[in-house]
């Protein structure tokens, strides 16, 4: 048996039905303290339902789960004291200002009035919202709203944070903002469960990834472990001088035993079977004195992993998952 005390989130066999629809069909999840789990899946896979159960907003039909050591159905209040929730649904009051929202949540978390004010000021500062602090949240831009949502979930200094599709609908530069804040949180030891439709996001932020589809876990592992499932790593070499291209192609072909095509964007690519071939290429090029600016071993993208696992193309367009 696994030692439960090391897990900030631990769920076994969670099921949830909506009428005849099985939203969750026996999900197991575990997140070690201080780590980030990415829950990856297409629309309707059950990600939001799983988060709502773990955050005590929904009761599972069966199965059990603990968050921060507390049972989500038997001791929801203790769970609520330990968690922060940010998502498409758990947001802020648009008619109140950023500061008023944060102060309200602080008061509801039993901060005294001066403490609530101080905590709100700190968070507004930390999330770059000081200037907008007294404007109605409804007037915030998409990126500011997401930062305020995130700040709101951190008011009580939770040890576990749920981020349900934190960057859906954000443009890439704003997305980087959110990613940096998530990294900051984890560097402080907070446990994060992040759901996403973006493979890139899970790859960038998560220590481990659980892939779910149709209410079931279909794969779990680190990003590189998942990529191994698909196999097909490739070796990439960028010649320093164009005149060396032919020589490098010859080396790659000989060692990998495959035909190597023309360089694309200055990069020569050859599929390889094992690390030894990588070493051989490096040694061979060095002994011939052929200069290269880049040589790397790349794993297949998570998109390909996802396609292999679910048999469908991963979502690239943000589509809003229906709540519950």
Partner 1 sequence: MTTMTVPDVAVPRPASSLPWLRHSMSLAGRSVKKMVRHPEQFFDVTLQPVLFLIIFVYVLGGAIAGSTQDYLQFVLPGILIQTVLFSTVAIGVNLNTDIKEGVFDRFRSLPIPRSAPLVGATIAECLRYALTIGVTMIAGFVMGFRTGTSPLRVAAAMLLVLFFAWCMCWIAIWLGMIMREAGSVQGIGFLALFPLTFGSSMFASADTMPGWLQAWVKINPVTHLTDAMRGLLTGGPVAQDAFIALGTSALILAVFAPLAVRAYRTKA
Q: Does the footprint of partner 1 cover residue 115 (CB under 8 A)?
A: yes
CA distance 165 to 213: 16
Q: Which residue from 93, 225, 247, 284 is in contact with partner 1, where contact means CB under 8 A?
A: 93
Comparing CB distances to partner 1, the nearer of 160 and 270 is: 160
Please say whether the beta carbons of 65 and 55 come within 8 A: no
CA 155 to chain centroid: 21
Q: Does the footprint of partner 1 cover residue 57 (CB under 8 A)?
A: yes
| Chain residues 73-92 in contact with partner 1, contact rule CB under 8 A | 77-78, 80-83, 85, 87-92
Q: Does the footprint of partner 1 cover residue 3 (CB under 8 A)?
A: no
Comparing CB distances to partner 1, the nearer of 22 and 107 is: 107
Comparing CB distances to partner 1, the nearer of 27 and 160 is: 160
Q: Which two tokens stand for residue 11?
A: 């769920």
Q: Does the footprint of partner 1 cover residue 144 (CB under 8 A)?
A: no
Beta bridge partners of 216: 213
Comparing CB distances to partner 1, the nearer of 79 and 285 is: 79
Q: Which two tokens stand for residue 154?
A: 């951190």
| DSSP three-state, residue 220 | strand
Closest Cα to residue 43, out of 70, 23, 28?
Answer: 23
Closest Cα to residue 199, out of 41, 8, 49?
Answer: 41
CA distance 186 to 183: 5
CA distance 139 to 186: 30
Q: Does the footprint of partner 1 cover residue 108 (CB under 8 A)?
A: yes
Q: Does the footprint of partner 1 cover residue 8 (CB under 8 A)?
A: yes
Shortest Å, Cβ 188 to partner 1 = 6
Q: Which residue from 30, 159, 210, 315 is in contact with partner 1, where contact means CB under 8 A?
A: 159
Comparing CB distances to partner 1, the nearer of 191 and 197 is: 191
> Strands 83-86, 160-164: parallel, antiparallel or unpaired by DSSP?
parallel
Q: Does the footprint of partner 1 cover residue 187 (CB under 8 A)?
A: yes
Comparing CB distances to partner 1, the nearer of 220 and 238 is: 220
Q: Which residue from 43, 62, 95, 316 is in contact with partner 1, where contact means CB under 8 A?
A: 95
End-to-end CA distance of the chain: 32
Task: Determine whether 20 is exposed, middle or buried from the number of CB atoms within 10 Å of its CB (0-12, 13-18, 19+).
Answer: exposed
Shortest Å, Cβ 198 to partner 1 = 21
| DSSP three-state, residue 85 | strand
Q: Does the footprint of partner 1 cover residue 122 (CB under 8 A)?
A: no
The residue ranges that bind partner 1 (CB under 8 A) are: 8, 32-35, 52, 55-58, 77-78, 80-83, 85, 87-96, 100, 104-105, 107-112, 115, 152-153, 156-159, 186-191, 207, 324
């Amino acid at each position: 048996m696994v030692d439960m005390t090391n897990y900030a989130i631990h769920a076994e066999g969670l099921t949830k039905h909506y009428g005849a629809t099985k939203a969750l069909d026996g999900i197991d999840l575990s997140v070690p303290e201080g780590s980030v789990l990415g829950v990856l899946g297409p629309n309707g896979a059950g990600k939001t339902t799983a988060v709502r159960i773990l955050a005590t907003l929904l009761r599972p039909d069966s199965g059990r789960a603990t968050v921060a050591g507390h049972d989500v159905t038997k001791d929801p209040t203790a769970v609520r004291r330990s968690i922060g929730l940010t998502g498409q649904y758990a947001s802020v009051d648009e008619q109140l200002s950023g500061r008023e929202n944060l102060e309200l949540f602080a008061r509801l978390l039993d901060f005294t009035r001066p403490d609530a004010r101080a905590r709100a000021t700190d968070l507004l500062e930390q999330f770059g919202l000081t200037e907008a602090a007294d404007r109605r949240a409804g007037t915030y831009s998409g990126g500011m709203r997401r930062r305020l949502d995130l700040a709101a979930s951190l008011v009580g200094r939770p040890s576990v944070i749920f981020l349900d599709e934190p960057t859906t609908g954000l443009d890439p530069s704003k997305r980087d903002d959110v990613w940096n804040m998530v990294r900051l949180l984890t560097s402080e030891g907070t446990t994060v469960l992040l759901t996403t439709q973006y493979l890139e996001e899970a790859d960038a932020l998560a220590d481990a990834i659980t892939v779910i589809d149709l209410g079931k876990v279909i794969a779990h592992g680190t990003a590189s472990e998942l990529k191994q499932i698909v196999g097909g790593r490739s070796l990439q070499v960028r010649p320093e001088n164009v005149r060396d291209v032919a020589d490098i192609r010859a080396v790659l072909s000989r060692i990998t035993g495959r035909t190597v095509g023309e360089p694309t964007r200055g990069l020569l690519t050859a599929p390889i079977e094992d690390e030894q071939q990588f070493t051989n290429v490096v040694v061979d090029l060095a002994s011939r004195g052929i200069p290269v600016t880049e040589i790397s071993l790349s794993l297949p993208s998570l998109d390909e992993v996802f396609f292999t696992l679910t048999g469908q193309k991963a979502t690239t367009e943000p589509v809003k998952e229906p709540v519950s």
